[in-house]
Amino acid sequence: MHIQRCGWCTSDPIYMAYHDQEWGQAVYDEKTLFEMLCLEGQQAGLSWITVLKKRDCYRAHFFQYSIAEIAAFSDAELAEKCQDAGLIRHLGKLTAIRDNAQAWLRLKQQQIDVVKWLWAFAAQPKLNNNVPHYADAAAQSAESQRMSKTLKKMGFKFVGPTICYAFMQAVGMVDDHENHCTFKTPPLPSDKS
């Protein structure tokens, strides 16, 4: 079978593997959702491939740890991490990972199932958008705007509506694969898209 991919996916093996095996797949694992929310924030102002190429280093510094351990990182530890060229050396972005871990824990302390809570922002049933070309895909939505506003209120950082929409695309809350893409979910019979 000949595989057709979205136009944004270059021939870089890291990008192709991400597109084929992760992007748009529904994620319900708490740690993975936390990682993706934080990584989308690291992308701000940069290309996603930059983040993907540094993901192993982010995992070594942050995401191999529990959310509680990340929440306890000191300012000095974050400043030290900022020296590693394997990360995006932006202290505000790295600090946001710790701040997001603290905000995540505060939600859990309120007996909130953060996975269900995040998924509640997604349109039901899942939006399967009409995307003839990736440049036609939305950059944000009413759902991502609501998610962004709520996350910011809860103390999350680097979670603007565009970042939240990219997160929703990445974790399968929205299907924005191009219409010709092999990985596009077939529209539901009720879809008007």
Confidence of residue 179 (pLDDT cuts 50, 70, 90): very high
More confident residue, 40 or 189: 40
Residue 192: what pLDDT? 47
Residue 126: what pLDDT? 72
Q: How far is it, in rounded angstroms, from Cα 52 to Cα 12?
A: 11
Give domain limits for the chain.
Answer: 13-175
Residue 193: what pLDDT? 43
> What single-letter DSSP state applies at residue 61?
I
| Predicted confidence (pLDDT) per residue in 94-152, tens digit | 999 999 999 999 999 999 999 999 999 998 767 888 999 999 888 999 999 999 999 99
- The rounded Cα 184 to chain-centroid distance in angstroms is 19
Per-residue pLDDT for 191 more than 50? no
Task: Read off the amino acid at residue 121.
Answer: F
Which residues are marked as active site? 18, 40, 48
Per-residue pLDDT for 188 more than 90? no
Confidence of residue 43 (pLDDT cuts 50, 70, 90): very high
Task: Using alpha carbons, list the distances in angstroms from residue 125 to 29, 112, 138, 173.
Answer: 20, 22, 18, 9
- Report the predicted TM-score, pTM, of the whole model to 2 decimal places: 0.93
Per-residue pLDDT for 84 more than 90? yes
Region 13-175: CATH code: 1.10.340.30
Compute the average pLDDT of residues 68-95. Answer: 97
- Token pair belonging to 179: 């219409």
Q: How far is it, in rounded angstroms, from Cα 121 to Cα 172?
A: 12
Q: Are strands 127-128 and 174-175 parallel, antiparallel or unpaired?
A: parallel
Contact 101, 124 (CB under 8 A): no
Compute the average pLDDT of residues 10-15. Answer: 95
Where do the H-state alpha helices sit in the chain? Answer: 13-21, 30-43, 48-58, 67-71, 75-81, 91-109, 114-119, 142-153, 161-170
Contact 84, 57 (CB under 8 A): yes
Mean pLDDT of the chain: 94
Compute the average pLDDT of residues 141-166. Answer: 97
